[in-house]
Amino acid sequence: MSDYIGRITDNLLSNIRKYADPLIPIEISTLYVNHYVGIKIENKIAEPCRYHGSGIGTKNIKAMMQQMNGLCEIKFASDYYCIILYFPIDL
C-alpha cells in the first residue's frame, strides 16, 4: 500500500509542476465520507498550458486507488482541476 501512496504522490506532484498556475495557491483539504477519509487537491490550470497530458497518470492513480479498495474522483474544466482520493477506514 505504501508503494502505491508514494507513486500516487509522485504523480500528483509531477502534474502540479507541469499544469498548475504557479501564481495561484493549490488548495489541499481533507474530508470524511461514509467510512472513507478523503484528500482533496484543487488547482487552477496555467494559461497557456505548457504541457499536454495523455491522461495515463490519472488512469494509473485510479488503478492504484482501486487496488487499495479506495476511490478516485476527478473534476476537470478548461482552467480548473480537482482530484479527491478516498481511502477506506475501518471503524
23-68 pLDDT per residue, tens = 999 999 999 999 999 999 999 998 765 656 667 888 999 999 999 9
Q: Is the pLDDT of residue 13 over 80?
A: yes
Q: Is the pLDDT of residue 16 over 80?
A: yes
Query: What's this model's pTM, rounded to 2 decimal places?
Result: 0.86
> In the chain, how long is the greatest CA-to-CA distance?
45
Q: How far is CA 38 from CA 49, 66, 73, 78, in A?
A: 28, 14, 10, 24
What is the Cα–Cα distance from 21 to 46, expressed in whole angstroms?
4
- For residue 82 the three cell numbers come to 480537482
Ordered by start, the domain boundaries in the chain are 2-88
Q: pLDDT at position 51, please?
A: 58
Fold of 2-88: Heat Shock Protein 90 (3.30.565)
